[in-house]
Structure 1
Amino acid sequence: MVPGHGPEARGLAQIGVRLLLVATVAVYALYAASEQVTGADLWWTMAAGRYIVDHGAVPRQEVFSYTYDGAPWFNQEWLSQVFYYELYRAGGGLALALFKFAAVLAAFGLATWIGWRRSGSLVFAAGTAVAAVFVCRPFLDIRAQLFLFLGTLAVLAVVEAYRHGARPWTLALLPIVMLLWTNLHFSFVYGLGLVAVLAGVEALKLGPSRPRARWLVAAIFGAGLACLANPRHLQALTLPFVMLGREGAWRSEIIEWLPPGLFRGSYLNPAFFGYFLAAQVLVAVTAAIAAPRQVDVGDALVVAVTAAMALAARRFVPLFGFVSVPFGAKNLALVRERWLAGRTGVSVAELGGAALACVAALAVLAVRLVPEARATLAAGVFEGLTDDAYFPHGAVEFLRQNPLPGRLFHLYTWGGYLMYWLPERKVFIDGRAQQVYPLSFYRENKAAEYGDPGWDGVLDRYGVALIVWPSERVAAGSRYAVMLRQLRQSSRWGCVYEDGQAAVFAHVDRGRDWIDAYRAFTLRYPDLPTAQLFLVNAYLNASRYAQARAHLVEVLGQFPKAAPLTQQVESRLLDTARTAGAAGAWFGVGFYRDVRGDGPGAAAAFRAALQRGLSDPQASYAREALERLGPGPGP
Structure 2
Amino acid sequence: MSCTYHIANRGIADPDIWWHLRNAEYLLKTHHFIRADMYSYTVNGLPWINHEWLAEIPYYCAWRMWGLQGIFLVMICLIEAIMLGTYYLGYMAGGNAKSAFLASWIAMFLATVSFGPRTLLFGWAYLIILLAVLWRYRQRGEGPLWVLPPLFLLWVNSHGSWLIGMVVLWIFIVSGLFSGMGDAAKAMRWRAAQLKGLLRAAAFSMLALFVNPYGYRLVLYPFDFAFRQNLNVSNVEEWASVDFHGLRGKILLASVVVVLVMKVIRKQQWSLESLALFVFALYASVTYSRFLFLAGIIFTPLLAVSLDMIPAYRQEKDKPLINAAFMMAALLFVALRFPSESSLEADIQNVYPGPAVAALQALVRQNPGPVMHDYLWGGYMIWQCRDVPVFIDSRVDIFEYNGIVKEYFDFTNLRNSFEILDKYKVRYALLEKDSAQAYLLAHVSGWRVVYSDRVATIFERVP
Normalising by the smaller structure, the TM-score range is 0.7 to 0.9
Q: What is the CA distance between 1:398 and its match in structure 2?
A: 2.4
Candidates 163, 169, 181, aligned match of 1:189: 163
2:355 aligned to which of 394, 401, 408: 394
Measure the CA separation in 2 of the matches of 1:420 and 1:408. 16
Q: What stretches of structure 1 of length at least 5 have no aligned partner? A: 1-25, 266-270, 338-343, 510-635
Q: Are 2:246 and 1:279 aligned?
A: no
**Residue among 28, 33, 47 paired with 1:72:** 47
CA 1:181–1:381 in structure 2 vs 1: closer, same or farther (change >3 Å)?
A: farther
Task: Choose from 451, 454, 460 the match for 1:497.
Answer: 451
| Cα-to-partner distance string for 1:327-375 (whole Å, 9 max, x where unaligned) | 2112333xx39xxxxxx96689x999xx9xxx9xxx9x9xxxx9xx97x
What is the aligned counterpart of 2:372 among 406, 409, 419? 409
- Verify: 1:237 aligned to 2:219, yes or no: yes
- Structure 2 match to 1:465: 427
**SS in structure 2 at match of 1:183:** helix
Paired with 2:264 and 2:212, the residues of 1 have a C-alpha distance of 41
Report if aligned partners of 2:48, 2:398 keep a CA contact under 8 Å in 1: yes
In structure 1, C-alpha distance between the alignment counterparts of 2:50 and 2:439, rounded to whole Å: 37
Aligned residue for 1:430, secondary structure, equals coil
Partners of 2:439 and 2:425 lie apart in 1 by: 21
Correspondence list, 1:175-214, <5 A: 175-201=149-175, 208-214=190-196
Pair 157,55 (structure 1): closer, same or farther in 2 beyond 3 Å: same
Q: Which has the higher contact order (CA 8 A, sep 6+)?
A: 2
Q: Secondary structure at the match of 1:329?
A: helix
1:34 maps to 2:16:
no
Give 1:128 deviation, angstroms.
1.0
Deviations 1:378-428 (A, max 9, x none): 8845447x6442111112222344523111111000000001112222100
Select 1:488's aligned residue among 442, 445, 458: 442
Q: Tell me, yes or no, if structure 1 residue 290 matches structure 2 residue 266.
A: yes
Equivalent residue, structure 1, for 2:27: 52
Bigger mean CA deviation after superposition, 227-236 or 200-209: 200-209
Of 56, 64, 72 in structure 2, the residue corresponding to residue 81 of structure 1 is 56
SS, match of residue 496 in structure 1 = strand
Instruction: Give the Å deviation of 1:90.
Output: 2.6
> What amino acid is aligned across from residue 391 of structure 1 in structure 2?
Y
* Amino acid corresponding to residue 225 of structure 1 in structure 2: L
Q: 1:226 to 1:143 in 2, by over 3 A?
A: same
Q: 1:611-634 CA deviation, whole Å, 9 max, x = no partner?
A: xxxxxxxxxxxxxxxxxxxxxxxx
Pick closer, same or farther for the CA change 1:292–1:501 going to 2, 3 Å: closer
Change (3 A) 1:380 1:330: farther
Distance 1:508 1:111 in 2: 57
Q: Which residue is 1:570 aligned to?
A: none
- Render the CA deviation track for 1:134-154: whole Å, top value 9, x for unaligned: 222242121111112111111
Q: Secondary structure at the match of 1:442?
A: helix
Residues 98 and 313, structure 2, Cα contact 8 Å, conserved in 1? no
Which is further off, 185-194 or 56-65?
56-65
**What secondary structure, in the 3-state scheme, does the structure 2 residue paired with 1:64 have?**
coil
1:220 corresponds to? 202
The SS at the match of 1:505 is: strand
The letter for the 1-side match of 2:151 is V
Give the superposition deviation at 1:282.
3.7
Residue 159 of structure 1 corresponds to: 134
**8 A contact 1:28–1:130 mirrored in 2:** no
Separation of aligned partners in 1, 2:341 and 2:49: 36
Q: Which residue does the alignment assign to 2:96? A: 121
Residues 113 and 289 in structure 2, CA contact (< 8 A), matched pair in contact too:
no
Task: State yes or no: 1:425 paired with 2:379.
Answer: no
1:312 aligned onto 2:249: no
**C-alpha distance in 1 between matches for 2:456 and 2:376:** 13
Please report the RMSD computed on the Cα atoms of aligned residues, expressed in angstroms.
Answer: 3.4
8 Å Cα contact 1:260-1:312 kept in structure 2: yes
Q: 1:174 to 1:497 in 2, by over 3 A?
A: same
Query: In structure 2, how many angstroms separate the alpha carbons of the residues matched to 1:165 and 1:492?
Result: 73
Structure 1 residues 530-582: Cα deviation after superposition (integer angstroms, max 9, x where no partner): xxxxxxxxxxxxxxxxxxxxxxxxxxxxxxxxxxxxxxxxxxxxxxxxxxxxx
Rounded to whole Å, the distance in 2 between the matches of 1:331 and 1:160 is: 17
Aligned to 1:257: 239
Q: Which amino acid aligns with 2:360?
A: L
Taking the aligned partners of 1:501 and 1:73, their CA distance within structure 2 comes to 31
Percent identity over paired residues: 24
C-alpha separation in 2, matches of 1:469 and 1:246: 28
Kept after mapping to 1: 8 A contact 2:67/2:341: no
- Corresponding residue number in structure 1 for 2:407: 444
- Partner of 2:460, secondary structure, is strand
SS at match of 1:241: helix
Structure 2 portions without partners, runs of 5+? 179-186
Partner of 1:423, secondary structure, is coil
Provide the residue aligned with 2:18 in structure 1: 43
1:252 and 1:113 mapped to 2: Cα distance?
35
Question: How far off is 1:222 after superposition?
Answer: 2.0
Q: Match for residue 147 of structure 1?
A: 122
Deviation per residue, 1:437-461 (Å, 9 max, x gap):
34843232133235x1531221111
State how far apart, in whole Å, the 2-side matches of 1:120 and 1:280 are: 21
Cα deviation 1:129-175 (Å, max 9, x = unaligned): 1122222224212111111211111111222333454964x222111
Change (3 A) 1:507 1:90: same
For 1:143, what is the secondary structure of its paired residue? coil
The CA deviation at 1:224 is 1.4
2:148 to 144, 150, 174: 174
| Equivalent residues of 1:94, 1:381 under 8 A apart | no
**Are the counterparts in 2 of residues 407 and 426 from structure 1 also a CA contact under 8 Å?**
yes
Counterpart amino acid of residue 242 in structure 1: D
SS in 1 for 2:104: helix
Distance 1:179 1:463, change over 3 A: same
CA distance in 2, matches of 1:52, 1:347: 52
Flag the structure with larger Rg: 1
1:177, CA displacement in angstroms? Answer: 1.4
1:18 is aligned to none
Q: Which residue type is aligned with residue 170 of structure 2?
A: A
3-state SS of paired residue (2:451) = strand
